Amino acid sequence: MRALRHLRRDVLRPVCRCLSSGREAEALDAYSRVVTNVVDTVGPAVVAVKHKDGRGQGSGFIFSSDGYILTNDHVLGDAAGSEIMVSLTDDTVLQAELVGRDPPTDVGILRIPSRSRPLPAVELGESTELRVGQLVVAIGNPLGYASSVSAGVVSALGRSLRSQSGRLVDNIIQTDTAINPGNSGGPLVDANCKAVGMNTAIVAGSQGLAFAVPSNTLSFVVSQLMQFGRVKRGYFGIYGGVRPVQRELQQRYGLQLQTVVQVAGMDPEGPAVRGGILAGDLIVAADDVPTGSMDDLWRILSQRPPGAPLSVRVLRPVPGSMQLKSLQLTVQIEEDIKQLPGAGGRQLRLPVQEPLRPVSGDFKFH
């Protein structure tokens, strides 16, 4: 009987191995089917964006069948519309018109001439529905290799990334998809063939740390650029920096953070001056939200439409003491995007490729 039990185990083991191998094959086939379906559906809408003088290139994707294209602002660089060329997957090269750009979110919109039939386009999805671990596919033109595909997962959500303008972009998607120079501006696509983000940056010297602007941000910027030619944002009219606060002041005034924003200067015609803020004031809260940095102020302003009221609490230095004051401001439209001093953050390499040049030593590819 004991021998029979051993015999049964020996017979069953190979069967179990076969079943396990079969399940792995099925899982692999399902994974492959998702990726290939995404490539077949979305691939024709992915384009290469190039400067006419050959200075650099990146990727983009058509989001409207009448020729509107999303790409990164840093891919466009300082090129005017007449200096930008777009290559389609059928090798057609067209001159692009610059529709608008928004450096704070690193988004640019181009348009190419309509053709005899509608162009293939990618639908923007809902980035708020993404989950960590979800499959995503990146399509672009890394290092000049057209229509390259890499797949991975959503590694994290809600990251923050500083754009080249100095502004902090929130709700950034972190993925482990392979993103290389030239991928910038390409779509990050979910299993439903919808663009849930736009590939934007990698951390210099890292592996598997790629970032994408979420589709909900893209949708907002697109609507603003298409309607107004620029993004209308609330404007505060100050520049400043972070100042640590002594524990005694924290306890005395009930401050929740260990830092505040110290006002270093102001737009003489801005809302801060009109609301009574002075140089040297310490901004501790806006609309009852603690402000420990300029980034905190930007976040609050980004949620306020122009013309909306904004309550601000400041600590004002007076001889031998501090005064806590509450001020009322009216948010105005920011006319000019300015990089505020003191923008810190980790060093990020924005993956724009300059053709026919070796890859920078800041990159490590294996």
From the candidates 150, 184, 215, 293, give the one annotated as an active-site residue: 184
Q: What is the DSSP secondary-structure string of 295-330? A: HHHHHHHHTS-TT-EEEEEEEEEETTEEEEEEEEEE
Active site residue 184: yes
Helix (H) or strand (E) holding 146: none
Closest-CA residue to 51 (of 1, 8, 108, 127): 108
3-state DSSP helix/strand/coil percent for the chain, to nearest 5?
25, 35, 40
Phi and psi (nearest 5°) for 221? Answer: -65, -40
Active site residue 296: no
> SS3 of 228, please?
helix
Helix (H) or strand (E) holding 240: strand 238-244
Active site residue 53: no
Residue 101: exposure state from Cβ atoms within 10 A (0-12, 13-18, ≥19): buried
From the candidates 51, 73, 102, 106, give the one annotated as an active-site residue: 106
How many C-beta neighbours within 10 Å does residue 140 have?
Answer: 31
From the candidates 59, 73, 74, 148, give the one annotated as an active-site residue: 74
Residues that are catalytic: 74, 106, 184
